[in-house]
Amino acid sequence: MPSSDFSPREYAARLAATRGAMSDSGIETLLVSDPSNMAWLTGYDGWSFYVPQMVIVPQHGSPLWWGRTQDKPGARQTTWLSPDDLFDWPEEHVQHSMHHPVDHLADLLRARGWTAGLGVEMDNYYYSAASHRILQQAFGTEALSDATGLVNWQRAIKSDVEIAMMRKAGLLTAHMHEVLRDAFREGLPKHELVAQVQAAGISGLPGLAGDYPAIVPIAPSGREASASHITWNDRPLTTGEATYFEISGCFRRYHCPASRSLFLGTPPSNIRRAETAVLTAIEDTLAAARPGVTCEEVASCVYDSFARAGYVKGNRTGYPIGLSYPPDWGERTMSLRPGDRTVLQENMTFHLMPGLWTPDWGLAITESFVVKPDGGEPLADIPRELVVKAA
Amino acid sequence: MPSSDFSPREYAARLAATRGAMSDSGIETLLVSDPSNMAWLTGYDGWSFYVPQMVIVPQHGSPLWWGRTQDKPGARQTTWLSPDDLFDWPEEHVQHSMHHPVDHLADLLRARGWTAGLGVEMDNYYYSAASHRILQQAFGTEALSDATGLVNWQRAIKSDVEIAMMRKAGLLTAHMHEVLRDAFREGLPKHELVAQVQAAGISGLPGLAGDYPAIVPIAPSGREASASHITWNDRPLTTGEATYFEISGCFRRYHCPASRSLFLGTPPSNIRRAETAVLTAIEDTLAAARPGVTCEEVASCVYDSFARAGYVKGNRTGYPIGLSYPPDWGERTMSLRPGDRTVLQENMTFHLMPGLWTPDWGLAITESFVVKPDGGEPLADIPRELVVKAA
């Protein structure tokens, strides 16, 4: 059974929304392989996504869980599904070059008569080209349609219970940043700092335990920070270098990412100028992020603030967040960027990411927020300014 | 430039071995999307695998890195490739429903004249069914062949430098288990224990910094442990329950996983009986794991020991390990199981996994080892016995 945060009522609502979207897309049976979607739909939790597994949603009747024999007890422990609706493929098929678990899936679908109108998540980490080929050979290309993002879009507007969980994740994120600010000092090897910050996120706060985030700390310093996804190494923190930490607390798989930048010594004027542009961008964006405004309108607050400071930002500046599994805590639906005319609605949640990367340094100060009638409301309370420590 | 552990000589050897395997498979150009394979071939490191990226290996000439604009500086910082051989797809394509980075890849391949004899890793997390469809449409199905595992197999026999890194990972793993044994006590909430163990793996030992392992701690207790991939929660450790921890230290992406089981109070006789069967299985397997013996012969040591104790083990009992990225630290080539007649060679490395899962409890005591002339040599030095603490 899932945790108490996921009520039977919420379960029914999520299933109904998904079935509505299936109808709109002409999908009779949806094969969900994204672990975030599987968990959102049924509660299923476990580090088992490195082998094929799915939640199968027919238009009528109970959804099924399908996965490895070893993981079936986990499905029984964590989902709303009845034990009769859990199906397992034989252990002998694990990572075997001569047979594949999806052969077993094809048999299961055939036995149920679900051989046409199948929706599959074609652009997902956990539905491989090989899996798709097996289903194509079993049922024909016409039987399959691309349902990438179908469930993800249903996740966009959070329920109040989900917002509450994201705020708890935000308390964990704020706690991690507090530990980071306190520990950050000249000469401390980066990995020791990372160990402390990560432990703070998991040991959490009284009554508030942390889960593993979908992305490990991204924490580059100095020129390393010109690359936006360098994790960490054992180099000591050095005077004259900017470091940024992109981290997230995680509460029952819900995230609240936030980046802060830190500097040892006296920050040069170009970094201070970038900081001002970023802080203004955040304030302008939060003020603008009301229901009815489009993603690109919100994003323009960031691009405009950067342009005024003489910077060009070439990448998107935010994406939706919520429940997630590695390797990404984004929901992969809309983006805060030019051309995205998706209309914001109340209780959508975003990670606003006004980062700047130059060849010599990178600066990232970011906020996770929820869309409310008066604008974007931060989901965590963390001082935004560049953290400056004397050398 | 990669770390000092990855010499130009080793780089050349890895590339040559891969090209040999490409020749054998009739592949002219290999598209490598598995981040572990990308790192093993070129040194590339970064948490950027949640968007499409590849190392492209032509039969002649330099390999190319292809990825997101934001990540190109990371490729420059971490690989042996020349800056001229780094190619980036436009930021605008990030997670966009109307265009896809692989369209850009098709243009790059076309510009180079690499339009046939393309090998792709069809059964990998980071090569999606959507990516494959785009390449099929661009070059035709005949132009593409399945190269899943081609590079993984080249990784099977480790160089001495790699073995040294795995032994360092083993020191980290042993340190994590020491912290675990010391901290394990009645009433301690599980997540607090996990935070300590994980921090120990990253803060590491003097002169030895930890990286993030490809799998987070798997640490179920009591009935939870009937499911083999449950991570953790905030429930206090309780007398009468067995807990197992499957964890790994990670040194420069190299792993050395090891599980141990712990018990609060007096273990019942069935758990003691299982422990004996597991310990015997490990001893017998290590003695048998010499060059020239097959995977299934080695595996039979485990199945035989379990059968003598009255247990049936239905799943495989080990897999190769080494350099890895989430979501799996296994190499996905051979397995220690019936039917696998791969012949062991010196310096192959395995995670031997003689775990037992019953409906009421799970017991896992596992070892990572390297194949040497006299048998399997453990890569970490950790007491194997069930850890028993008074309530």
pLDDT of the residue at B151:
98
Q: What is the ipTM of this complex?
A: 0.96
Per-residue confidence of chain B (391 residues) as pLDDT tens digits?
Answer: 787 789 999 999 999 999 999 999 999 999 999 999 999 999 999 999 999 999 999 999 999 999 999 999 999 999 999 999 999 999 888 888 888 999 999 999 999 999 999 999 999 999 999 999 999 999 999 999 999 999 999 999 999 999 999 999 999 999 999 999 999 999 999 999 999 999 999 999 999 999 999 999 999 998 888 888 999 999 999 999 999 999 999 999 999 999 999 999 999 999 999 999 999 999 999 999 999 999 999 999 999 999 999 988 878 999 999 999 999 999 999 999 999 999 999 999 999 999 888 878 888 999 999 999 999 999 999 999 999 998 7
- Can you tell me the distance from the alpha carbon of A337 to that of A40, in angstroms, rounded to the nearest whole number? 26
- Can you tell me the distance from the alpha carbon of A376 to that of B174, in angstroms, rounded to the nearest whole number? 47
Q: How confident is the model at residue A376 (pLDDT cuts 50, 70, 90)?
A: very high
- Can you tell me the distance from the alpha carbon of B350 to that of B355, in angstroms, rounded to the nearest whole number? 15
pLDDT of the residue at A312:
84
Give chain A positions within 8 Å (CB) of B200: 195
Nearest Cβ partner of B210 from A191, A227, A327? A191
Cβ separation A199–B204 shorter than 8 A:
no
pLDDT of the residue at A204:
98
**Minimal C-alpha gap between A189 and chain B (Å):** 9
Q: Which residue of B has its CA nearest to A34?
A: B125
* Closest C-alpha among A6, A25, A2 to residue A14: A6
Tell whether the torsion through CA atoms of B103, B105, B110 and B111 is positive or negative: positive
Cβ separation B132–A129 shorter than 8 A:
yes
Cβ separation A71–B122 shorter than 8 A:
no
* Closest C-alpha among A186, A168, A202, A191 to residue A241: A186
- Can you tell me the distance from the alpha carbon of B31 to that of B11, in angstroms, rounded to the nearest whole number? 17
- Can you tell me the distance from the alpha carbon of A336 to that of B229, in angstroms, rounded to the nearest whole number? 35
Distant-in-sequence, close-in-space partners of B141: CB < 8 Å, separation ≥ 6: none
CB B150 within 8 A of CB B22: yes
Tell me how crowded residue B5 is: count the other CB atoms within 10 A of its CB: 16
Give chain A positions within 8 Å (CB) of B91: 314-316
Give chain A positions within 8 Å (CB) of B96: 335
- Can you tell me the distance from the alpha carbon of A24 to that of A117, in angstroms, rounded to the nearest whole number? 12
Give chain B positions within 8 Å (CB) of A226: 73
In our burial notation (b when 16+ CB lie closer than 10 A, e otherwise), range B73-89 reads bbbbbbbbbeeebbbbb
Q: How confident is the model at residue A391 (pLDDT cuts 50, 70, 90)?
A: confident
Distances (CA, A) of A180 to A198, A389, B123: 10, 12, 39
Mean pLDDT over each residue of chain A, to the nearest integer: 96
A338: its two tokens: 């030019």
Cβ separation A227–B148 shorter than 8 A:
no
pLDDT tens digits, one per residue of B160-179 = 999 999 999 999 999 999 99
pLDDT tens digits, one per residue of A128-142 = 999 999 999 999 999
pLDDT of the residue at A226:
81
pLDDT of the residue at B1:
75
Give chain B positions within 8 Å (CB) of A191: 202-204, 209-210
A68 backbone dihedrals φ, ψ, rounded to 5°? -75, 145
CB B64 within 8 A of CB B55: yes
Q: Locate tokens 């590079």: which residue?
A: B151
- Can you tell me the distance from the alpha carbon of B65 to that of B44, in angstroms, rounded to the nearest whole number? 9
pLDDT of the residue at B224:
85
Give chain A positions within 8 Å (CB) of B76: 227
Q: Locate tokens 């980490």: which residue?
A: A125
* Closest C-alpha among B369, B382, B357 to residue B229: B357
B302: its two tokens: 């485990």
A97-110 mean pLDDT: 95
Cβ separation A74–B199 shorter than 8 A:
no
pLDDT of the residue at B225:
82
A66-81 mean pLDDT: 95
Nearest Cβ partner of A227 from B71, B95, B132? B71
Cβ separation B199–A199 shorter than 8 A:
yes
CB B15 within 8 A of CB B41: yes
CB B143 within 8 A of CB B137: no
B353: its two tokens: 């996994």
Cis, peptide link before residue B220, omega less than 30° from 0: no
pLDDT of the residue at B355:
86
Domains belonging to chain B, first-starting first, are 8-154 (3.40.350.10), 160-389 (3.90.230.10)
SS3 A374: coil
pLDDT of the residue at A3:
78
B154: its two tokens: 């080249």
Cβ separation A100–B92 shorter than 8 A:
no
Higher model confidence: residue A363 or residue A321?
A321
A254: its two tokens: 């819900």
Lowest mean pLDDT across A3-12, A30-39, B271-280: A3-12
Query: Residue length, chain A?
Result: 391
**Minimal C-alpha gap between A202 and chain B (Å):** 5
CB B379 within 8 A of CB B370: yes
pLDDT of the residue at B223:
85
Strand partners, B257: B248
Cβ separation A328–B50 shorter than 8 A:
yes
- Can you tell me the distance from the alpha carbon of B209 to that of B250, in angstroms, rounded to the nearest whole number? 9
Give chain B positions within 8 Å (CB) of A211: 231-232
Distant-in-sequence, close-in-space partners of A337: CB < 8 Å, separation ≥ 6: A295, A296, A299, A315, A316, A317, A318, B92
pLDDT of the residue at B176:
98
- The CA R_g of chain A, rounded to the nearest whole Å, is 22
Distances (CA, A) of B325 to B45, B112, B156, B247: 10, 30, 16, 14
B144: its two tokens: 């593409």
Strand partners, A371: A376
Statement: residue A315 has pLDDT above 90:
no
Cβ separation B202–A194 shorter than 8 A:
yes
Tell me how crowded residue B59 is: count the other CB atoms within 10 A of its CB: 13
Tell whether the torsion through CA atoms of A305, A311, A316 and A322 is positive or negative: negative
Lowest mean pLDDT across A21-25, A162-166, B307-311: B307-311
pLDDT of the residue at B3:
78
pLDDT of the residue at A91:
86
* Closest C-alpha among A341, A357, A224 to residue A278: A357
pLDDT tens digits, one per residue of A145-157 = 999 999 999 999 9
Q: How confident is the model at residue A355 (pLDDT cuts 50, 70, 90)?
A: confident
- Can you tell me the distance from the alpha carbon of B103 to that of B137, in angstroms, rounded to the nearest whole number? 10
CB B323 within 8 A of CB B254: yes
Q: Which amino acid is at B62?
A: S
- Can you tell me the distance from the alpha carbon of B272 to that of B278, in angstroms, rounded to the nearest whole number? 10
Q: Where are the alpha helices (DSSP H) in chain B?
A: 8-24, 35-42, 72-78, 101-112, 129-139, 150-154, 160-183, 190-203, 269-288, 295-308
CB A193 within 8 A of CB A184: yes
Give which of A179, A228, A312, A325 to mutate to test B binding, by max B Cβ within 10 Å. A228
Q: Where are the alpha helices (DSSP H) in B3-148?
A: 8-24, 35-42, 72-78, 101-112, 129-139
